[in-house]
Amino acid sequence: MINSISILREIIAYVFLITGTYFLISNAIGMIRFPDFYLRLHASSKCLIAGSISVLMGCIVLEGISYISLKLIIIIIFLLITNPVAIHAIAHFAYNYSIKPQKIVKNDIKQ
């Protein structure tokens, strides 16, 4: 009985880990295949946060309830707060470098 629960936990954990690794690889492919800077930033932000949180969730399931999983939850909350802030700051920095999107219709910041 205990053995089957342990096997089920490992299966769920490895599904999370493989999903996270897939998202990280798709982040890398999006970084080299998209033509424009803002498209690359779009791919980078979403896939990065999905992959990192999925990998950390797999580690939490593998660990169980303990003092270590509290640290992993702290890392998850920290990434959820700081990664959108960093991406927004990079986008503002790119607008300051006068990088415009290629097929822009209307510039809302300039006005």
Partner 1 sequence: MLYLILAIILSIIITFYRLIKGPSVPDRLAAMNSIGVMFLMILVLLSYYFERKIYINVALVYGVSIFMNVLIMVKYLQKPEKGGSSD
Binding site for partner 1 (CB under 8 A): 17-18, 20-21, 24-25, 27-29, 31-32, 37, 40-41, 44, 48, 51-52, 55-56, 59, 62-63, 68, 71-72, 74-75, 78-79, 82-83, 85-87, 89-90, 92-97, 99, 109-110
CA gap 62, 54 in Å, rounded: 12
On whether the CB atoms of residues 61 and 19 are closer than 8 A, the answer is no
Reported as type and span, the H/E element at residue 67 is helix 67-96
Q: How far is the CB of 4 from partner 1 (least distance, A)?
A: 22
Q: Which is nearer to partner 1, 8 or 18 (CB)?
A: 18
Q: Which is nearer to partner 1, 11 or 28 (CB)?
A: 28
Task: Spell out a b/e string for 75-91, using b for 16 or more CB atoms within 10 Å of the CB, else e.
Answer: ebeeeeeebeeebeeeb
Q: Which is nearer to partner 1, 7 or 78 (CB)?
A: 78
| Tokens 């205990």, located at residue | 2
Q: How far is the CB of 1 from partner 1 (least distance, A)?
A: 25
With H, G, I as helix, E, B as strand and everything else as coil, classify residue 28.
helix
